[in-house]
Amino acid sequence: MSSAGPEGRKKMRECDGLIDSLVYYIQGTTADYQPDDKATENCVCILHNLSYQLESELPSSYAQNIYTQRKNTPTNDKSLGCFGTRSRKAKVKQQDTLLPEEKSSPKGVESLWHSTLIRIYLSLIAKSTRNYTQEASLGALQNLTAGSGPMPFSAAHTVVQKANGLQSIRFMLHVSDPSIRRTAVSLVRNLSRNASLQNEIARNVLSDLVSLLPDSVQGSEVTNETTASICYTLYNLTQNSSQNARLLLNTGGLPKIMIISRSDNNMLSKASKAASILLYSLWSHTDLHSAYKKAQFKKAAFVNAWTTRAYNSLKD
Q: Is pLDDT larger for residue 254 or for residue 100?
A: 254
Domain membership flag for residue 292: yes
Domain that holds residue 17: 1-68+79-197
pLDDT category at 55 given cuts 50, 70, 90 is confident
Domain membership flag for residue 74: no
| Residues 159 and 242 placed together within one structural domain of the fold | no
| Residues 156 and 281 placed together within one structural domain of the fold | no
Question: Does the pLDDT at position 59 exceed 80?
Answer: no
Nearest-CA neighbor of 263 among 298, 310, 299? 310
Domain membership flag for residue 73: no
Domain membership flag for residue 205: no
Residue range 91-117: mean pLDDT, rounded: 74
Q: Which residues contact 232 (CB under 8 A, 6 or more apart)?
A: 189, 274, 277, 278
Question: Does the pLDDT at position 98 exceed 70?
Answer: no
| Cβ atoms of residues 142 and 152 within 8 Å | no
Predicted local distance difference test score (pLDDT) of residue 78: 40
pLDDT category at 219 given cuts 50, 70, 90 is low
Predicted local distance difference test score (pLDDT) of residue 170: 97
Q: Is pLDDT larger for residue 190 or for residue 64?
A: 190
Domain boundary among the residues 163, 197, 231 is at: 197
pLDDT category at 216 given cuts 50, 70, 90 is confident
| Residues 153 and 293 placed together within one structural domain of the fold | no
Question: Does the pLDDT at position 76 exceed 90?
Answer: no
- CA gap 147, 190 in Å, rounded: 8
| Residues 306 and 244 placed together within one structural domain of the fold | yes
Domain membership flag for residue 206: no
Question: Does the pLDDT at position 200 exceed 50?
Answer: yes
Q: Is pLDDT larger for residue 314 or for residue 59?
A: 314
| Residues 102 and 188 placed together within one structural domain of the fold | yes
| Residues 100 and 40 placed together within one structural domain of the fold | yes
Domain membership flag for residue 208: no
Domain membership flag for residue 10: yes
Radius of gyration of the chain (CA): 21
Residue range 115-137: mean pLDDT, rounded: 97
| Residues 154 and 264 placed together within one structural domain of the fold | no
Predicted local distance difference test score (pLDDT) of residue 206: 98
| Cβ atoms of residues 132 and 39 within 8 Å | no
pLDDT in tens, 265-308: 555 588 999 999 999 999 999 999 999 999 999 999 899 877 88
- CA gap 280, 299 in Å, rounded: 10
Domain boundary among the residues 197, 229, 247 is at: 197
With the C-alpha atoms ordered 180, 184, 185, 190, is the resulting torsion angle positive or negative?
positive
Share of the chain above pLDDT 90, in %: 68
Q: What is the pTM of this model?
A: 0.87
Question: Does the pLDDT at position 199 exceed 70?
Answer: yes
Q: Which residues contact 307 (CB under 8 A, 6 or more apart)?
A: 261, 276, 277, 279, 280
* Total domains in the fold of the chain: 2
Predicted local distance difference test score (pLDDT) of residue 263: 79
Question: Does the pLDDT at position 196 exceed 70?
Answer: yes
Q: Is pLDDT larger for residue 81 or for residue 242?
A: 242
Question: Does the pLDDT at position 190 exceed 90?
Answer: yes
| Residues 134 and 260 placed together within one structural domain of the fold | no
Domain membership flag for residue 207: no
Residue range 98-110: mean pLDDT, rounded: 77
Predicted local distance difference test score (pLDDT) of residue 100: 61
Domain boundary among the residues 171, 197, 223 is at: 197
| Residues 152 and 190 placed together within one structural domain of the fold | yes
| Residues 280 and 308 placed together within one structural domain of the fold | yes
Question: Does the pLDDT at position 222 exceed 90?
Answer: no
Predicted local distance difference test score (pLDDT) of residue 84: 38
DSSP assignment of 58-86, as one string?
S-HHHHHHHTPPPTT-----TT--SSSHH
CATH number of the domain that residue 152 is part of? 1.25.10.10
pLDDT category at 97 given cuts 50, 70, 90 is very low
Question: Does the pLDDT at position 106 exceed 90?
Answer: no
pLDDT category at 21 given cuts 50, 70, 90 is very high
| Residues 102 and 184 placed together within one structural domain of the fold | yes
| Residues 24 and 122 placed together within one structural domain of the fold | yes
Q: Which residues contact 238 (CB under 8 A, 6 or more apart)?
A: 202, 244, 245, 248, 278, 281, 282, 285
Q: Is pLDDT larger for residue 315 or for residue 104?
A: 104
